[in-house]
Amino acid sequence: MTTNDTSVRVLDKGFVRLVDFMGGDQGVVDAARVSYGGTSKGPEADKKLISYLLKHSHMTPFEHAVFKYHVSAPIFVARQWFRHRFAAYNEISFRYTEVKDYFYMPSIWRCQDKKNKQGSTATAALDHDALNAMFQSQIDAALNTYKKMLSLGVAREMARMVLPVNLYTEFYWTVNARSLMNFVSLRADAHAQWEIQQYGEALARSFKELMPWTYEAFVRDAWKGDNPLIAADRASLRDAPVSIR
């Protein structure tokens, strides 16, 4: 749910918060038309231009719309996220700050997909209560050991080594619309890990709100993934003309 501070809750304790935004749909249009000294030709023509650019993979104009987000995500999600290198990152440092009890706890446990070595599937065969208890015990032990090490004088930069990767981290992420579309294409897709899919969906909603013309063209002309929310958006546009709503 979006709050007044533009934060969207993700997973149990995470969030995506828009910090700043520039360019938008009009920034893309202006960047595209400057190549031949042109200017805006009105909303209808500008919207059609965005659709043309995406349909024919003319992507550099989309680099002139820029988003800055404040993100809270488990470390294992962040490590996947940071593979998207065409962006700027600044992350909280656990060398400088003391870790708090801020860990991701899954609502359900998934089993290994027998066909996809990288994937997982829902199952009723797992004892979720037992797994939750086992997991919580491990987290408590790691956090207690971390605090004990600090009390004994161990530096934060070393004590942090005992902590698991479900610890939440926070970072600022500045990304242009071209790279954001790449992120959504890969991370909101059903083949991505479920946890990062939730962030992909949150970013897709933000993208839709801030750049509606580009988002519409993206889902109609460029999206090739598998996601029910985005698929619903695409279905609603499939037979719609490219025109101002």
Query: So which residues are the catalytic ones?
Result: 187
Distance between CA 145 and CA 238 in Å, rounded? 55
Residue 200 tokens read as 């992909």
Output the CA torsion 188→230→219→75 (10° steps): -20
Distance between CA 70 and CA 147 in Å, rounded? 27
SS3 content of the chain, % helix, strand, coil (to 5): 50, 20, 35
**What are 8's strand-pairing partners?**
2, 16
- Strands (E) across 195-244 are located at none
Contacts of residues 110-117 at CB distance under 8 Å and 24 or more positions apart, as own/partner, are: 110/194, 116/191
**Main-chain phi, psi angles of 220, to 5 degrees:** -85, -40
Q: In what order do the strands lie in the sheet with 88-91?
A: 7-10, 14-22, 66-74, 168-176, 88-91
